[in-house]
């Protein structure tokens, strides 16, 4: 039988026509398999084969326990933002004032597309409140005393969860911190000294740049692919020519680019840095926010010699105000522990116990399943709005996890000016200039998708496209 005469092919072709005619748009949910069976009078196997064929064509995607969704748009953004080529120019100081301005205005903005935090309504407040109450009952002295050794329950759960990404963490080796940024800062203070060269992705999170700069480190911004992350050959060149002493990477769903290093790249980076005796500080704060069926590995997964200092937190997934983070510092454990003692002494008792309990009872994983689905759906809806309302030459990333889109506009557009225009309409964006110490990425911006999609967000993106 010719392939085009197969029933499932005819069904797939008919649905493809609806998609290509824009009658079904990116983010739309497709009819259930049973509905297709009834409408087309075919078996469940035939309906399933039709959807598998549409997935093969790159038109739809399946989401476990949620159904099938259109993942194709005519403006498919085939031209992703290019591999970044950071400038080697004199450091500019104006970025700190820009950052301060965005922080000041963020509290007034109704549509907060600049933040890397989840919207408040996405937190499981009642369950977290219950966890806090349980912590006051289970901790000695209701948690009023110092936590001198780090919360045992939390450390045990972090070690257990590391199995998901191929880690072999030992609870006793984990150092608890007040969030991921504090973890990174302890590592920077321990391993870097003024004048040392540190290699980072570009663009990268401004908190990392700010901390490195304040410590007097010489930041080397390296070319980064919007899908696969850091370019390994340029990292090697920087080690040899720039005498890099330290490396800091966001290996999974980086902020702001959204890149996720493939397993082979992670392994290669660890082998390269180990060979040249360069420690790697790995920020894995977004690793749990994958859109697929499996959590990505980490650089720490391939660390056999203790050269990777693994840092993470729950600040981007559930409770930023709890300030719960951790480090597994490999061979540098004792040094980092002394740094923590010198600069912070101890960490919070109650919030760390509460989060340990939350992880232990499976509440966190249940929350993550719902959150990952919401973020994935948001990514589709954002891409749909951008394709409909932004200029035709717009380029945008299509991440496989995390909570950011990196948007590159025409070179004539300055996103700082666009920010100043948008904030008048109570819309806050994050100009690309924030994510570098050089005068670059002026026509790019980061958009956060960590909120509940609604008509106000849709209208804001439409207005933002018109302003652009």
pLDDT value at position 100? 77
Give the whole-angstrom CA distance, residue 349 versus residue 178: 11
pLDDT value at position 395? 93
- The answer to whether position 12 is within a domain reads yes
Q: How far is CA 200 from CA 165, 197, 248, 255, 380, in A?
A: 23, 10, 5, 12, 29
> Do 210 and 356 fall into the same domain?
yes
Residue 57 near residue 63 (C-beta atoms within 8 A): no
- The answer to whether position 89 is within a domain reads no
> Do 293 and 219 fall into the same domain?
yes
> Do 99 and 155 fall into the same domain?
no
pTM of the full structure: 0.85
* Residue 403 in tokens: 């909570």
Q: How many domains does the chain have?
A: 3
Of the candidates 331, 196, 148, 235, the residue with the CA atom closest to the CA atom of residue 188: 196
β-pair partners for 234: none
Q: Is the pLDDT of residue 147 over 70?
A: yes
CATH of the domain at 45: 1.10.10.10
- The answer to whether position 248 is within a domain reads yes
Per residue in 318-356, pLDDT tens? 999 999 999 999 999 999 999 999 998 888 899 999 999
Q: Is the pLDDT of residue 98 over 90?
A: no
> Do 50 and 110 fall into the same domain?
no
Domain that includes residue 27, residue range: 3-70
Per residue in 56-69, pLDDT tens? 777 888 877 778 98
Per residue in 217-237, pLDDT tens? 999 999 999 999 999 999 999
- The answer to whether position 135 is within a domain reads no
Per residue in 230-267, pLDDT tens? 999 999 999 999 899 999 999 999 999 999 999 999 99
- The answer to whether position 224 is within a domain reads yes
Of the candidates 80, 98, 116, the residue with the CA atom closest to the CA atom of residue 408: 80
Per-residue pLDDT band at 79 (split at 50, 70, 90): low
* Residue 240 in tokens: 């040899």
């Amino acid at each position: 039988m010719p392939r085009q005469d197969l029933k499932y092919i005819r069904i797939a072709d008919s649905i493809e026509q609806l998609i290509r005619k824009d009658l079904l748009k990116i983010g739309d949910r497709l009819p259930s398999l049973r509905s297709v069976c009834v409408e087309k009078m075919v078996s469940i196997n035939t309906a399933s084969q039709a959807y598998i064929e549409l997935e093969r064509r790159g038109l739809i995607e399946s989401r476990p326990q949620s159904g099938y969704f259109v993942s194709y748009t005519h403006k498919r953004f085939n031209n992703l933002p290019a591999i970044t080529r950071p400038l080697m120019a004199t450091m500019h100081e104006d970025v700190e004032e820009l950052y301060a301005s965005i922080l000041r205005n963020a509290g007034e903005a109704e549509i907060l597309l600049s933040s890397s935090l989840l919207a408040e309504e996405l937190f499981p407040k009642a369950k977290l409140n219950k966890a806090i109450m349980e912590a006051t009952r289970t901790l000695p002295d209701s948690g009023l005393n110092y936590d001198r050794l780090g919360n045992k329950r939390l450390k045990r759960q972090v070690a257990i969860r590391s199995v998901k990404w191929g880690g072999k963490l030992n609870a006793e080796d984990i150092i608890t911190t007040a969030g991921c940024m504090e973890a990174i800062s302890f590592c920077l203070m321990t391993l870097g000294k003024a004048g040392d060269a540190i290699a980072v992705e570009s663009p990268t999170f401004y908190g990392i740049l700010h901390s490195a700069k304040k410590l007097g480190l010489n930041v080397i911004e390296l070319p980064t692919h919007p899908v696969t992350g850091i370019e390994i050959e340029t990292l090697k060149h920087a080690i040899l020519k720039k005498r890099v002493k330290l490396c800091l990477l966001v290996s999974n769903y980086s902020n702001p680019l959204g890149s996720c290093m493939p397993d082979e790249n992670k392994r290669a980076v660890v082998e390269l840095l180990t060979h040249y005796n360069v420690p790697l500080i790995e920020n894995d704060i977004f690793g749990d926010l994958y859109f697929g069926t499996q959590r990505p590995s980490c650089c720490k997964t391939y660390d056999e010699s203790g050269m990777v200092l693994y840092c993470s937190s729950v600040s981007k997934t559930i409770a930023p105000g709890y300030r719960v983070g951790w480090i597994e510092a490999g061979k540098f454990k004792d040094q980092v522990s002394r740094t923590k003692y010198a600069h912070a002494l101890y960490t919070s008792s109650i919030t760390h116990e509460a989060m340990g309990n939350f992880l232990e009872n499976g509440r966190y994983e249940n929350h993550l399943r719902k959150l990952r689905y919401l973020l994935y759906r948001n990514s589709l809806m954002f891409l749909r709005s951008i394709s409909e309302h932004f200029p035709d030459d717009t380029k945008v990333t299509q991440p496989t996890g995390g909570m950011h889109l990196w948007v590159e506009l025409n070179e004539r557009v300055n996103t700082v000016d666009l920010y100043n225009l948008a904030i008048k309409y109570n819309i806050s964006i994050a100009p690309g200039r924030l994510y570098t110490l050089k005068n670059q990425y002026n026509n790019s911006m980061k958009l956060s998708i960590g909120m509940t999609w609604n008509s106000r967000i849709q209208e804001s993106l439409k207005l933002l496209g018109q302003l652009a």
